[in-house]
Structure formats: C-alpha cells, structure tokens
Amino acid sequence: MINTYNNIKVIGFDADDTLWVNETYFREAEEEVGRLLSHYETPNKIDQELFKMEMKNLPTYGYGVKGFVLSMVELAIALSNSRVSNDIISKILDIGKDMINKPIELLDGVEEVLKTLSKDYRLILVTKGDLLDQERKLEKSGLLDYFHHIEVLSEKQEANYEKLLKHLDIQPSEFLMIGNSLKSDILPLVNIGAKAIHVPFHTTWQHEKVSKKETNGLEYKTVANLKEILNFIKAK
C-alpha cells in the first residue's frame, strides 16, 4: 500500500454522483422546465435565471429536490409576471415528484469497492441535501449495511468536517474522503489535513465547480472510476 494511506482508519464516501446517479436528473429537469416556460424566455435564459433563483434560495431551502422544485415554481411565476397557468405549475411539481421517485442507479463498481473496504475500514456516508430524500435514496440503494455512520450535512465546509471528525473521535490524518465534487468533497478535507480522492462525474452542477487556481498546489488523488481506489487502499 502507498504509505500516504497507512494511517487511515475511517473512509468517507459522498453519495450523489459518487455512489449513484443524481446530477443527470437535475439536468433533465432543467431541460423540461425550459420547454414548459419557452413561451416566456429562451432555454438559455431560463437556465441562467433558474441558477440565480437557486442561489438566492439556497440559504432558505438548502440543497435537494424540494428546494429545486420551489425555485422552479418561483421562476415560473417571475418570468410570466404571475400569469403562469395552474397546469404548468402542476407539471413542475410532477417533475419534482418524478425526480424523488427515480430508481437508484448505482455507478460502476460501487458495491465491489464498499464490500472490499468495509472488511478493514470503518466506512461512513457523508452527504448533503434533504435528510428525508437522502435517507430514502440510501435505503433504496441497498448499500446501508456497509456504513457505520451516516451524516447529512447542511454544508460541506471545513468547519462541518472538523465537527464530524471530532464526533467520530479521529484525527484528520486518519480520515480519507472520496467524492466527485472538488468543492465539497476534496478541498475542505485537504485544507484540514485529511486525505481525499477525487472521482469525477461526467456532469457537475455550476455551484460545485472550482477554478484551477483553487486547486493549485493541493495534494489529492484523482481516479477515473471508483474501482481504481482499490489500487491505493487495500486490505490491511
């Protein structure tokens, strides 16, 4: 095993777009609401305004499908000058319900990796978003038994991770985080002295994107897929 991971006792996994598909459904919903509101604006403008609405509402609604749907409804009202029909509002609500009821599509290698690592490490799930929705997805995923601890954070910032590690009674040097978001899963951990492995997903929410300047000089590993981490984190 590479020495840099010798001290690891606990491995944290992000959920959405690390273990299962998530962001793809948001992109599909954005396209659908763009068609529904096409009488009022161009798809590109609708997409831009929806992102602004989400950012405005983030402190109030937090992350997840429910806040996203409320932002879509609010956008429809704003773009139409309050003339949007009940039928369109109903269809926007249906988009949200469809997203919540999507089957869980595990990414390649997820169960193999969790099964292998759970034999020698304490695994935890560290995600953010709506608590009820994340609990529902985890239950539907069939992965619950691999995790010793589940943490749904309001934000994934340094202070949140420091509080979590203190609760788990481990040092940052004993913790490894694995996730698809540089902003949420990688940079905060590196900054507090923990280890991190980046597993990119093919699409990233605009809010989660970071510049090269923000990652310059920071030490973390990037792999093409989840199974590659077994090349670095092996049985003890």
| CATH number of the domain where residue 61 is located | 1.10.150.240
Q: Is the pLDDT higher at 4 or at 37?
A: 37
Per-residue confidence at 166, pLDDT binned at 50, 70, 90?
very high
Q: Tokens for 37, please give them.
A: 């509101």
> Residue 93: how many CA atoms within 13 Å on its side-chain side?
6
| Domain-embedded: residue 236 | no
Residue 54 belongs to domain spanning: 23-100
Which is nearest to 51 in space by CA: 73, 28, 75, 32? 75
Q: Tokens for 127, please give them.
A: 């995600």
CA–CA distance, 179 with 7 (Å, rounded to integer): 20
H helical segments located in 23-85: 23-36, 43-61, 65-79
What's the confidence (pLDDT) of residue 201? 83
Is residue 8's pLDDT more than 60? yes
- Indicate whether 173 and 65 sit together in one domain: no
- Indicate whether 87 and 118 sit together in one domain: no
- Indicate whether 212 and 143 sit together in one domain: yes
Q: Tokens for 69, please give them.
A: 């749907």
- pTM (2 decimals)? 0.88
Q: Which long-range contacts (CB under 8 A, 24 or more apart) does 130-136 make?
A: 130/62, 130/63, 130/64, 130/65, 130/66, 130/67, 133/64, 133/65, 133/66, 133/100, 134/15, 134/64, 136/100
List pLDDT tens digits, range 92-124.
Answer: 999 999 999 999 999 999 999 999 999 999 999
What's the confidence (pLDDT) of residue 130? 83
Per-residue confidence at 2, pLDDT binned at 50, 70, 90?
very low
- Tokens 């998530």 -> residue: 22
Q: In CATH, what number is assigned to the domain containing residue 131? A: 3.40.50.1000
Is residue 211's pLDDT more than 80? no
Answer yes or no: are the C-beta atoms of 107 and 226 closer than 8 Å: yes
- Tokens 């749907």 -> residue: 69
Per-residue confidence at 133, pLDDT binned at 50, 70, 90?
confident
- Indicate whether 79 and 112 sit together in one domain: no
Q: Beta strands of the chain (E only): which ranges?
A: 10-13, 122-128, 149-153, 175-179, 195-198, 221-222
Choose one of 100, 116, 143: the last residue of a domain.
100
List pLDDT tens digits, range 223-233.
Answer: 999 999 998 88
List pLDDT tens digits, range 56-97.
Answer: 999 999 888 999 999 999 999 999 999 999 999 999 999 999
CA–CA distance, 98 with 90 (Å, rounded to integer): 12
Structurally, the chain folds into a number of domains equal to: 2
Q: Does residue 169 come out as left (phi exceeding 0), alpha (psi in the -120 to 50 range) or beta?
A: left
